[in-house]
Amino acid sequence: MVDNRIENTDTASGVHPLKFSLWLIIISIIMMFAAFTSAYIVRREEGNWLEFELPTILLINTAIIILSSVSMQWAYNSAKKDNLKSVKIGLIATFLLGVAFLFGQWNGWAQLVQDNIYFGGSSSNPSGSFLYVLTGVHGFHLITGLVFVLLTLIGSLKYKVHSKNLLRIQLCTIYWHFLGGLWLYLYIFLRINH
């Protein structure tokens, strides 16, 4: 939870320490997924790569995460205008869409298992394992994003998110848009390289 004493504190460079920290986290996540997708390409070229259809739910999840980004931006814009009711509605919608995304990922994994595509074991193949890792690690980060959205929602219910106190929702919005952009990258990457 963002402490009110540091809510509006900037460094000499003009960047808030929490915003700087968030950008460092985002850069480290980008580097991790760059390593994963590079390893995916290298391993695919080595052969013994099972070709299979991606679960249809991944496309549906792409639409869900885009909608959640729209609702998150709406919440942020509403906070800038002190429309506190819309802030709460936007954050609740973002949270519910995020949960729907995770539910979709779970169903995608269930479809993979139904199609005999496993993460590990004697029946597994690197192509399936990579798909589980890419979607699973993104899902983990989405859970952290949902915690962030929930904490921001709680702050909005206590009237701590408004035009004079935007840091909390601004950080949440940046991270949520990043997660959406990361998913779009992963989905396009998988469609092209799978």
Question: What is the model's pLDDT at position 9?
Answer: 55
Question: What is the model's pLDDT at position 193?
Answer: 87
Question: What is the model's pLDDT at position 16?
Answer: 87
Question: What is the model's pLDDT at position 72?
Answer: 98
Question: What is the model's pLDDT at position 2?
Answer: 46
pLDDT along the chain (194 residues), means of 10: 49 78 96 97 90 94 98 97 96 98 97 92 89 97 97 94 92 97 97 87
CB-based contacts of 172, cutoff 8 Å, min separation 6: 72, 76, 145, 148, 149, 151, 152
Backbone angles phi, psi at 95, to 5 degrees: -60, -50
Question: What is the model's pLDDT at position 181?
Answer: 98
Question: What is the model's pLDDT at position 149?
Answer: 97
Cα 20 from Cα 17, distance rounded (Å): 5
Which of helix, strand or coil describes residue 165?
A: strand
Question: What is the model's pLDDT at position 12?
Answer: 55
